[in-house]
Structures are given as C-alpha cells and as structure tokens.
Amino acid sequence: MHRISYLLLVILLGILGTGCSMVAPHYSASIENVQKLKDGGTYTAKVGAFTSKSDPANANPISMRGSSMTSPYEGSYANYLAEAIKAELVMAGKLAPGSDVEISGVLLKNDIDAATSVGTGDIQARFLVKRNGQVRYDQVKTAQNKWESSFAGAVALPRAVQEYPRMVQALLGELYSDKAFLQALK
C-alpha cells in the first residue's frame, strides 16, 4: 500500500514540476495588413531567411508564469514571422517564389508577460528588402500589445497565447504602413 502511495506521489510531483508547455496559434492573416499590401502598388516578392538574435528579450520558448510557449513553425519564432509575411503576401496576391525582390529579417525582441492585471507583449524585428541582392530597405520595426489579464493562470495564460498572433499582426502593420518599405518592393 505504501509503495502505491509513494509511486502516486512521485508521479504527481513530476507532473507538477514540469510546468505546462503550450504552442502558439498558427498565424491568421490580418485583413487590414493584406489591404495595405494590395494598396502598395504593382510588385511581387518572395520571403527569404528570417533569423533570431540571441538575447534574453528574445525568448524561445517564451516563458510565462512557469509555463512555456513554443512556435508552431519548427519551434522558431523567426519562422513564425516569415510564415506570417508569406500568408499575407499570398492573400494579397503578391507572393512569387521566383521574384527578384526578397523580404528577410532578424527577430530582435519577442516576449510576453502574462501579468496578473494587464498582460503585455513586445516584439521587434529588423526587416530587409533586397532586389537582385542589393539592399533597398533596412529598418527596425517594433510593436507592443496590452490586454486584460487575470490573477488566475488558467485565464491569463490562454489569453496571452491568443494575443501572440495579434502582436505579430501589429508588427507587420507597422512595416506595411511604411511607404519606404512599399516603395522598396516595386
């Protein structure tokens, strides 16, 4: 009897000690972002390599209250950003893998805080546009997001996970609003 109780206690402690691992939602294109790309003129582009700067503010996985959130795109948030751009270019009818215009970048900052009252998220990336290998655009864009959170982790963590794609949408909205970016694509 004592062996069974001991075994159950060890299993329970093992489960509680590991924390919870979640996967960020797949990216859904923003209609506003797609419209900005459509309104940007006549061009096509391909999406090149996105990398991630090693920095404590650029967590992978993202840690939230003892839990962690990983990217659904090969576990890489740089890939998440690349896939987000691809999704919006596809919806705008602007993605062309054979294009001589390439969008690439470096994820510089990527973090979420599932705080007890107000959750926050920060994302920052350096975006490059090259035509035939020549840099036509090189800028850093930043987006921050805030949302109502909760003391209860069962409420706060799912909300934070749901906010991640919105944070990426906001970052790409900043990029697509930059006239110099759209001009570099032409």
pLDDT at residue number 7: 40
pLDDT at residue number 3: 56
pLDDT at residue number 8: 40
Q: Is 98 exposed, middle or buried (0-12, 13-18, 19+ CB in 10 A)?
A: exposed
pLDDT at residue number 18: 39
Q: Any idea where the domains of the chain sit in the sequence?
A: 20-185
Identify whether the C-beta of residue 64 lies closer than 8 Å to the C-beta of residue 17: no
DSSP letter, residue 90 = H
3-state secondary structure of 178: coil
Query: Is the four-CA dihedral 70, 144, 172, 159 of positive or negative sign?
Result: positive
Q: Distances in Å between the alpha carbon of 168 and those of 63, 128, 142?
A: 17, 17, 10
CA distance 57 to 88: 26
pLDDT at residue number 62: 72
User: pLDDT tens digit string along 51-67?
Assistant: 999 877 777 777 776 77
**Of 3.30.365.10, 3.40.50.10610, 3.30.160.110, 3.40.50.720, which CATH number belongs to 20-185?**
3.40.50.10610
40: Cβ–Cβ under 8 A, 6 or more apart, which residues?
Answer: 94, 176, 182, 185, 186
The segments of the chain whose pLDDT lies below 50 read 6-18
pLDDT at residue number 151: 64
Identify whether the C-beta of residue 88 lies closer than 8 Å to the C-beta of residue 30: yes
Identify whether the C-beta of residue 158 lies closer than 8 Å to the C-beta of residue 18: no
How many residues can be counted in the chain?
Answer: 186
Angle at the Cα of 138 from the Cα atoms of 141 and 75, rounded to 5 degrees:
60
CA distance 18 to 26: 24
Kindly tell me the number of DSSP H helices and DSSP E strands found in the chain: 5, 7
